[in-house]
Amino acid sequence: MAAPGSRRARRDVDPLEAPKGLPRGRRRPTGRDVLGRFSESFARAMGTSAFLIGLTVFVAIWLIWNALAPEQAQFDPVSNGFAVMTLILSLQASYAAPLILLAQNRQDDRDRVQVEQDRQRAERNLDDTEYLAREIVALRLLVRDMASQDFVRSELKALLEELDRREVAREAEAASAEEQDEPRREPDRRAARP
């Protein structure tokens, strides 16, 4: 397990290195951060139905205008095979692919950090669970060795019966001792009378 101050032990690790000494929320954005954020927003925007509808409407208007407008008003005539539109769409595609890949790489970095944090959290949970299991076993052993209420009652009854027997035995001994002492005392009393 990583030491508390190390990069692996931190929970707020950003996939891109933060400049040392600056708090996470106040660091200066680097060119890589700006480009990464732009690529993520670009990829996010290109993945929407609004982008597809907007691009379709743009291309349809472009094609209709250049096909049906008078020749002086056409800026990308049909006779040239819509060369300008082809160039624009090719440029859009050539920039979109790398930006989407860059956004995916940043997401992979974040996912990797999240997986590491989840693994560390799972290790801590496993350690806590094992500790609690050991404590429960120790408590079970202690409870098993403890006397139950019925056991204590039966022991107390046995002790009371034993005390009663001893008391009865003492009384019987005392009574028999008195009987043995009485005949001896009677002759002495007779002798003392005359």
Mean pLDDT throughout 80-94?
Answer: 91
pLDDT of residue 62: 93
Distance CA 97, CA 104 (A): 11
E strands within 66-184? none
Average pLDDT over the chain, rounded to whole? Answer: 82
Q: Which amino acid is at 30?
A: T
pLDDT band at 39 (very low <50, low <70, confident <90, very high): confident
State the pTM of this model: 0.46
Angle between helix 83-145 and 31-46 (nearest 10): 100
If residue 144 lies in a helix (H) or strand (E), which one and from where to where? helix 83-145
In angstroms, the CA 99 to CA 19 distance is 24
Rounded Cα distance, 15 and 37, in Å: 13
DSSP state of 72: T
DSSP-based three-state secondary structure for 8: coil
Arithmetic mean of pLDDT, 112-121: 96
